[in-house]
Amino acid sequence: MKAYARTRRSRQCPIRLGLAALLLGFAAPAGGQSSIVYGRFPPTTVPPPAAHFPQDDQGTRLFPGLTQASTYPLAFNGQVFYTFAAAENGFTISPMSSIEAIIAVPVGQLGGGFAIALGAGQEIGPDAQAYFWMSGPAPWLLMGCVDFGCRGFFVGTDSAYVGLRFQQSGQTYYGWVRVGAPFSAPDGGLNGGWLYDYAFETRPGVSIKAGARPVMVPVAVPIVARPGYLRLSWLSEIGKAYQVQSKPSLDAFAWTNLNFAVPATSTNTLVDLPMTGAAQFFRVVEAD
């Protein structure tokens, strides 16, 4: 089990420790870096007698509404950069402005086109995998079903990746979002699907591989080895580096790297951390 360590100062109890399991998605990661922010879309909950699908437990269902499109925003650091929509005319992703973009290919003379379905491990960076970085605010089709059938690179896919490029404070960042449209086929189907998870590289200008996310390391139950310090220990691989990260609450958006990466010189690595603040959560990930 992957674990977090938590510390809290209290007059009644100098230290209180808690553990929380990390749920990591259902697709095998294509690599990992300590500088990646990773998140999951909430599972779909439907009351009986509505139909329940296995994919509902893995992410957010987005099917067309009876009178209007069903939409879902994708936000990073509290800012919405993309909007997904399932409507009569298609299942789409819309960059919010001419700054945000996705890896896509234009089709026809009237504008618009299809988002490219990337496989795990494909690099998302400046060259757009020999396709195009296409910006908003126009929607780009993941897939679309009309009378003659369904078209698009996500038709019939259980899971594939959309390459993302966005800017904050004048800096360019790359990321991915994993989407599925299994209820569609070339001969027809439903304009909609599921949103599973997403990630982005926090270092500006640095490429990310589709499916890459932080690789968690199981941490032993922390102990107080000396006054004022919490000791974390984990099984390690000699020669590999590890990064200790923290955040003040599990609701906080991103983890913060503590100091520098810790190189492993034995099969068990430990580090003593000063206990500061009212509460703090820690985890260990494999470093770059």
pLDDT at 277: 67
Least reliable range by pLDDT among 7-11, 49-53, 114-118: 7-11
Single residue among 151, 176, 209 that ends a domain in this structure: 209
Taking only the tens place, the pLDDT of each residue in 235-246 is: 999 988 888 888
Single residue among 164, 193, 209 that ends a domain in this structure: 209
Residues 75 and 175 in one domain: yes
C-beta separation of 234 from 284 below 8 A: yes
In a domain, 28, yes or no: no
Residues 50 and 159 in one domain: yes
Taking only the tens place, the pLDDT of each residue in 187-209 is: 988 899 999 999 999 889 999 99
| Between residues 237 and 254, the one the model is more confident about | 237
pLDDT at 110: 52
Q: Is 170 left (phi over 0), alpha (psi -120 to 50) or beta?
A: left
Residues 167 and 82 in one domain: yes
Give the structural domain span for 16: 5-22+216-286
pLDDT at 47: 85
C-beta separation of 93 from 142 below 8 A: yes
pLDDT at 122: 96
Query: Given a cut of 60, is residue 3 above it in pLDDT?
Result: no
In a domain, 254, yes or no: yes
pLDDT at 111: 59
Q: Is 54 left (phi over 0), alpha (psi -120 to 50) or beta?
A: alpha
Taking only the tens place, the pLDDT of each residue in 86-136 is: 998 899 999 999 999 999 999 875 557 999 999 999 999 999 988 999 998
Distances (CA, A) of 83 to 66, 100, 122: 19, 11, 23
| Three-state secondary structure call for residue 129 | helix
Query: Given a cut of 80, is residue 247 above it in pLDDT?
Result: yes
In a domain, 30, yes or no: no
Range picked from 23-27, 62-66, 128-132, 249-253 for highest mean pLDDT: 128-132
Residues 262 and 278 in one domain: yes
The pTM is what?
0.77
Residues 65 and 134 in one domain: yes
When pLDDT is averaged across residues 144-168 and rounded to a whole number, the result is: 93
The distance of Cα 173 from the centroid of its chain, to the nearest Å, equals: 14
Domain count, the chain: 2
When pLDDT is averaged across residues 154-163 and rounded to a whole number, the result is: 97
Residue 29: band (very low, low, confident or very high) from pLDDT cuts 50, 70, 90:
very low
Residues 139 and 58 in one domain: yes
Residues 125 and 230 in one domain: no
Single residue among 209, 225, 244 that ends a domain in this structure: 209
Among residues of the chain, what percentage have pLDDT more than 90? 51
Residues 121 and 46 in one domain: yes
Least reliable range by pLDDT among 8-12, 109-113, 148-152, 219-223: 8-12
- Where residue 237 sits, what CATH number does that domain have? 2.60.40
Query: Given a cut of 70, is residue 10 above it in pLDDT?
Result: no
Residues 147 and 279 in one domain: no
Residues 79 and 168 in one domain: yes
In a domain, 31, yes or no: no
Residues 238 and 149 in one domain: no
Sequential DSSP letters for 76-124: ETTEEEEEEEEETTEEEEEESSSS-EEEEEE-SSSS-EEE--BPTT-EE
Residues 99 and 170 in one domain: yes
DSSP β-bridge partners for residue 257: 245
| Between residues 156 and 260, the one the model is more confident about | 156
**Residues sharing a CB contact under 8 Å with residue 223, sequence separation 6 or more, in sequence order:** 230, 231
Query: Given a cut of 50, is residue 144 above it in pLDDT?
Result: yes
Residue 146: band (very low, low, confident or very high) from pLDDT cuts 50, 70, 90:
confident
